[in-house]
Amino acid sequence: MNILYIGPYRQKGIIGITSLFVLINILSKANTRVSSRPIYINGAEPVDVGNETILSSEKSRLDNYDMVIQHVDPKDCIKINSVKKNVIIPILNERILDENTINKLADFDMVLTDTKYSYSRIANAGNKLSSKTKNYDYDIPMSSISQNKFNIGTLGHTKKLYFIGSYRHNIANINYLCKSFIRNTVNNECSLVLFLFDIDAKIKNDIESMISNIYTENNIKHAINRVLVAPIDPTLENILIAHQTGDIFIDLQDDNSNTVNSKFATILKKSIVSFGVDDYDYSYNRNHTIYSTGCAGVSYKSIETKTKRAISDNIYSEHIIPFKKQHINKII
């Protein structure tokens, strides 16, 4: 089988890393020839890919294709009529799917998602999508993982809850998380570390002012600020070091829906605070932006409840109900 794979596997960030591992998995499929083509989303910075198999797939020019797989924002997807089977892995955000997006997805032969929430959003969007939507899984082939940690000073000895992601796309999540943490950490040896992408000195100062205001609003006098804003460059290496540094991963993300960070946390044996379909609420305002069709995000109530438990439990653990997935190489 000949496959054309189009995705942001050469760009920095969580979406790019996800796309990279998906491509690596597809390249390992037996009796398959793959041509890959990179795209870049929202002007993201490109990264070098040293994997010889990927470099070879980029040079590959096949006479015909049996399948095209597009890992893209739904607004950028285009069905290729000359190819027998069209598959999309949609990169979602907090916006509710509008009719135009639903119709574009319905043009594809298969829609792949890797979280229960994403599956629910798409499969329940209409009869045209329910039978086409499938949950996929993928492996993370890593022979070795660095044991390095970031130096976070006096907070290094505490029980560290941590978040990893873009500030611009997760303003609401970060605000809710800070409020929930500060309201529930009096006299506790806990800390919250925010590993944030794409923030400059001004934004960092603004976030720290917001944190200080939350302490003041709750009449909490703090000798030590237990919320640390830690800007990082969103490379695979830095993200893995962030996971090594923390203890309890807060699996929140508005700007995409995938499992790569929870997979890293699992591999590194970190506890995970996760959120399900019932934890989301709906509004027209999210991350300082008003959406005419509405948007969805994890509610403050759910973040408050689970953060409080993560802080108070000596050993945090969740009973996560699994949902049916198939490896991507068995689906395609």
Residue 44 is encoded by which pair of tokens?
């993201």
Share of the chain above pLDDT 70, in %: 98
Residues 159 and 117 in one domain: no
CA distance 89 to 174: 27
Angle between helices 260-267 and 14-27 (to 10 degrees): 80
Residues 28, 3: contact at Cβ < 8 Å?
Answer: no
Which pLDDT value is given to residue 321? 67
DSSP codes, 146-184: -------GGGGGSEEEEEEEESTT-HHHHHHHHHHHHHT
CA distance 82 to 65: 9
Residues 128 and 189 in one domain: no
Helices and strands, number each (H, E), in the chain: 11, 14
Note whether residue 234 is domain-resident.
Answer: yes
Question: How many structural domains is the chain composed of?
Answer: 2
Highest-pLDDT range among 55-59, 114-118, 152-156, 241-245: 241-245
Instruction: Tell me the per-residue pLDDT of 33-88, one tens digit each, with 9 for 90 and over.
Output: 999 999 998 777 788 887 899 999 999 989 899 999 999 999 899 999 999 999 99
236 pLDDT tier (thresholds 50, 70, 90): very high
Which pLDDT value is given to residue 185? 85
Residues 293 and 157 in one domain: yes
Residue 119 is encoded by which pair of tokens?
């599956």
Whether residue 222 has pLDDT greater than 70? no
Q: Can you list the positions of beta strands (E) in 54-109?
A: 67-72, 85-90
Write b or e for each residue in 202-216: b if 16 or more Cβ atoms lie within 10 A of its Cβ, otherwise e.
eebeebeebbeebbe
Residues 166 and 295 in one domain: yes
Residue 10 is encoded by which pair of tokens?
């050469």
Note whether residue 109 is domain-resident.
Answer: yes
Least confident stretch, 223-237, 273-287, 318-332: 318-332
Note whether residue 261 is domain-resident.
Answer: yes
DSSP state of 292: E
Residues 197, 261: contact at Cβ < 8 Å?
Answer: no
In CATH, what number is assigned to the domain containing residue 91? 3.40.50
20 pLDDT tier (thresholds 50, 70, 90): very high
CA distance 250 to 194: 10
In CATH, what number is assigned to the domain containing residue 203? 3.40.50.2000
Instruction: Tell me the per-residue pLDDT of 242-301, one tens digit each, with 9 for 90 and over.
Output: 999 999 999 999 887 689 999 999 999 999 999 988 999 999 999 998 988 899 999 999
Residues 205, 169: contact at Cβ < 8 Å?
Answer: no
Q: Residue 63 is part of which domain span?
A: 2-143+325-331
Note whether residue 148 is domain-resident.
Answer: no
Which pLDDT value is given to residue 264? 95
Residues 195 and 128 in one domain: no
Whether residue 313 has pLDDT greater than 90? no
Which pLDDT value is given to residue 223? 66
Residues 157 and 111 in one domain: no
